[in-house]
Amino acid sequence: MVGKNIKSIIFLEKPHAKAQRRKGRFRIIFSWFSCGSWLIIFLISCQSLPKVPDAFLENAKYVPLNSGASVYIFADVKRARPILDIMPLEELNDDMARQVLNRTDYLVAALFPQESGQRFQLAAWGKYPSKMAGMAMGMDRNWQSIRTQTKQSYWHSGVNRLSIAMSSKHAFAVSSLTSEPVNPITSAPGMEIPEGFNSFRHNSPLSFWIENPGPVIARALTNVGFRFPVQQFFINLYEVDENYEAVIRLQFSNATYARGTAAILSLAGNFSPDDPMAKLFLSNPPVQNGNILDINSSLDEAELIHLLNMFMF
């Protein structure tokens, strides 16, 4: 959690006064605030960053995230806000965090298994007040500036177990399970995006892929009693009429595996699943296209939260 007494600098435009001498002037207000979320530091962090595109590229082959995560998330923040706002992630659950999201256009994130020593990593594209960051971070003794051998620099807080770097158009953060500094800036080229993921997530507000999907599917379909030889597992999430829709893509090594899995799922779907995770796979028959199966499923909010907990946290 971010410590208290972090200095913020807020610029407010002064209203037009009737007196001629006040026209066109502005007032700078310095205020103290408390915050319970690491995300607020995005508003006050600025350091040298690698050369990355000013906006997220739809055809990108890599993302500036480390390998070794369990889940990789892509979010068009403005369109994905209904989903982001109900994510069971405490760092998103305060007003200041929401203000930061208001400044972000697109983000990619990685969630790591506990044995990795990291909790999550994030890279974001938006518009951030980076010019005030150095002064603000320097005013808080819980944060120290660290310079790497590659001449990159970032801020680290051992108390918060968080490292952050920011420019006016980019933000990077990594949360650790220890107080040791971790560079939030991933060395190029970064994590490779799986083949087919970009075309799958096109025009989706929020998408993610799961590394090593076999155990995840096995937990979701414990009653089916069959392990699916899945190579890739992608999910798109949409808000639809105050509910949600999930589109799952399962990719296999060949069409035979896909066809066999489709038959098993279709048979299992004849029994009404009570578990939300089983419902995700069994509520509608899969559609086969070569070595790929696509499954559509409607979810209410409680079912979506259950899904997010199962896959991401």
Q: Give the model's pLDDT for residue 229.
A: 87
- Asked if pLDDT for residue 253 goes beyond 90, the answer is yes
From CA 258, how far away is CA 250, in angstroms rounded? Answer: 8
| Lowest-confidence pick of 20-24, 89-93, 141-145 | 20-24
* Threshold 0.95, pTM exceeds: no
Q: Give the model's pLDDT for residue 164.
A: 86
The pLDDT mean for the chain works out to 79
- Asked if pLDDT for residue 46 goes beyond 50, the answer is no
Q: Give the model's pLDDT for residue 33.
A: 35
**Would you place residue 310 in the very low, low, confident or very high pLDDT band (cuts 50, 70, 90)?**
confident
- Asked if pLDDT for residue 35 goes beyond 60, the answer is no
98-115 pLDDT, tens digit per residue, is: 777 888 999 999 999 989
Beta bridge partners of 166: 171
182-230 pLDDT, tens digit per residue, is: 999 998 899 999 999 999 999 999 999 999 888 888 777 776 666 778 9
Q: Average pLDDT for residues 261-280, to the nearest whole number?
A: 80
Q: What are the Cα distances from residue 92, in Å, to 70, 80, 85, 89, 168?
A: 20, 13, 7, 6, 21
Q: Give the model's pLDDT for residue 48.
A: 55
**171-205: burial string, b at 16+ Cβ within 10 Å, e else:** bbbbbbeeeebbbbbbeeebbebbeebbebbeebb
Selected residue with higher pLDDT from 50 and 78: 78
